[in-house]
Amino acid sequence: MTAVPHHLGIDVGGTKAALRAALADGTVREAGFRVTVGPGPARHRRQRTWIRWLGKVREPCGGAPTALAGVSVAMPATLGAAGVVTAWPDRPGGTGTDLGSAPRGIFPTIRVAPAPTTATSPALAEAHTAGRPDPLYPGSGGGGLVVGRVPCPGLGRRTLEIGHVIVEMGGLRCVCGRRACLQGLASGRATHRRACLLGGAVVSYYGLERPLPNRVPWAADAQEGRTGALAAAVTGVEGLLRPDGLLIGGGYAAGFPEFVPSVLGFLPELVRQGQAPLPMGASAHCRKRWGRAGRR
């Protein structure tokens, strides 16, 4: 008997896409495939590529995608109001792709809401797992906000781009084309680059594992360049939108136990006088599952 799908999440990264279908009988099906956008300006070619990606959801959905109750599509691209890609820094060939209308051929009976960052769906999952209605979920390079148990600012209205909040003047150029975005300072790549500069040698991605617990100065400085920037962005969002808690996630945070305490250590000096820092919720953990699926 074919299982009836319940919900489907599609997480499109720079080079790969991960699909995860949670079925009504409690089982989960996962699939992944490489993302390719052909060269050339032809819009119809890009459109065919996107439709081909969507066609691959039939496998994790048990061949019955129309039985889905909901679909979440997370894209690392900037979308216009109609769901057309207006900028995709890692995949310039994808600009102009209509992500809004293409899914209707695969999911004719449900509303598909593309989200321009890959953190929206994990934020929703983390909020559900933590039992919080309005948490802020900042990842190490992006994040999402949930208000009233739904993504803020709402389906079809794009999403918050916490990773692209500008946290200082000047600074390094971000993949979005601006300077000094949170992502440009706090991403794993930026932290790695800072560690190499401060350490005076090439440091591997996880080369901070040993020096960080011992508070070796260059390693601590490299880490605090990231956690301080994240704390600044969190404080700005907290002042504007008043989330009810903080869920810090990301594979990097899970791999470095010093990460979350370091972020929390910056908050008291950034918070407005007379106010308490945003409380930390239960540790975020769903993102690790998304990360594993994305590496297929």
| Closest by CA position to 234, among listed 257, 208, 194, 265 | 265
Residues with Cβ within 8 Å of residue 71, at least 6 apart in sequence: 7, 8, 9, 10, 103, 107, 110, 112, 113
For Zn ion, the closer of residues 45 and 179 by Cβ is 179
- Give the range of 131-139, 168-176, 232-240, 263-271 binding Zn ion by CB under 5 A: 168-176
For Zn ion, the closer of residues 103 and 142 by Cβ is 142
For Zn ion, the closer of residues 54 and 174 by Cβ is 174
Distance CA 163, CA 143 (A): 6
For position 162 contacting Zn ion by CB under 5 A, the verdict is no
- Give the range of 56-64, 127-135, 176-184, 257-265 binding Zn ion by CB under 5 A: 176-184
What distance lies between CA 275 and its chain's CA centroid? 29
Q: Give the total residue count for the chain.
A: 296
Residue selected from 20, 46, 164, 226 as contacting Zn ion according to rule CB under 5 A: 164
For position 181 contacting Zn ion by CB under 5 A, the verdict is yes
Residue selected from 68, 146, 162, 174 as contacting Zn ion according to rule CB under 5 A: 174
Write down the least CB distance from residue 174 to Zn ion, Å.
3
Which single residue is written with the structure tokens 């990360």?
A: 291
Distance CA 229, CA 227 (A): 5
For position 165 contacting Zn ion by CB under 5 A, the verdict is no
For Zn ion, the closer of residues 160 and 181 by Cβ is 181
Q: Which residues bind Zn ion (CB under 5 A)?
A: 164, 174, 176, 181
